C-alpha cells in the first residue's frame, strides 16, 4: 500500500479532534484527517478515531486501510439490516445511521481513489 500511496502522491494532514464523536468512540482519540493526492489532484476529509494504545498522528496508510476496509464491508450488502447482521451489530436506529454514513463515505473514497480503488483493495 505504501508504494501506491507514494506513486499517487497521497499525504495526510491530521488535526486533533472531530466535529462529532459517536457513542462508543468516547475512549478513542479523535482526529480530522485530510488526505491529499497530487496525481490526479484530489482531496478527502474524514473523521478518524484511533485506539488509546496508538500514539502520534494517523498516517495516510492507516487511514486508507480503514477507509478501504469499511468500503468493502458495505459492498454487496443490499440493506442496512444485512450489513448489521454480517457485521455482528444490533439493529438500532444508531447502527442503521452508521450504515448510511459508511455508504456515503464509500462513495467519497471511490471518488478520491478513482480507478486506483481496486489496487488499494488488493493491497489490503
Q: For the segment 44-94, what is each residue's pLDDT rounded down to a tens digit?
A: 999 999 998 988 999 999 999 999 999 999 988 888 999 999 888 888 888
Cell numbers at 90, concatenated: 444490533
- Mean pLDDT, range 16-23, rounded to an integer: 85
> Helix and strand tally (H, E) in the chain?
5, 3
- Can you give the pLDDT at residue 40? 86
- Can you give the pLDDT at residue 24? 76
List Cβ neighbours of 94 (8 Å cut-off, separation of 6 or more): 22, 23
Asked if the model's pLDDT at residue 22 lies above 90, the reply is: no
Asked if the model's pLDDT at residue 95 lies above 90, the reply is: no
Residue ranges making up the domain that contains 57: 2-123
Asked if the model's pLDDT at residue 13 lies above 80, the reply is: yes
Asked if the model's pLDDT at residue 23 lies above 80, the reply is: no
- Measured CA to CA, the distance from residue 56 to residue 71 in angstroms comes to 25
pLDDT above 70 coverage of the chain, percent = 100
Q: What is the DSSP letter of 1?
A: -
Total tally of structural domains belonging to the chain = 1
Other beta carbons within 10 angstroms of residue 77's beta carbon come to 17
- Measured CA to CA, the distance from residue 3 to residue 37 in angstroms comes to 13
Question: Mean pLDDT, the chain, as a whole number?
Answer: 92
Amino acid at each position: 500500500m505504501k508504494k501506491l500511496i507514494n506513486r499517487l502522491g497521497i499525504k495526510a494532514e491530521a488535526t486533533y479532534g472531530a466535529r462529532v464523536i459517536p457513542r462508543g468512540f468516547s475512549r478513542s482519540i479523535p482526529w480530522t484527517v485530510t488526505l491529499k493526492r497530487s496525481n490526479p489532484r484530489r482531496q478527502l476529509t474524514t473523521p478518524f478515531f484511533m485506539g488509546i494504545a496508538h500514539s502520534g498522528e494517523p498516517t495516510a496508510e492507516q487511514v486508507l486501510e480503514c477507509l478501504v476496509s469499511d468500503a468493502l464491508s458495505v459492498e454487496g450488502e443490499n440493506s442496512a439490516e444485512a450489513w448489521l447482521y454480517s457485521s455482528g451489530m444490533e439493529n438500532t436506529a444508531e447502527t442503521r445511521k452508521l450504515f448510511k454514513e459508511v455508504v456515503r463515505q464509500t462513495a467519497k473514497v471511490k471518488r478520491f481513489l478513482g480507478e486506483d480503488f481496486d489496487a488499494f483493495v488488493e493491497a489490503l
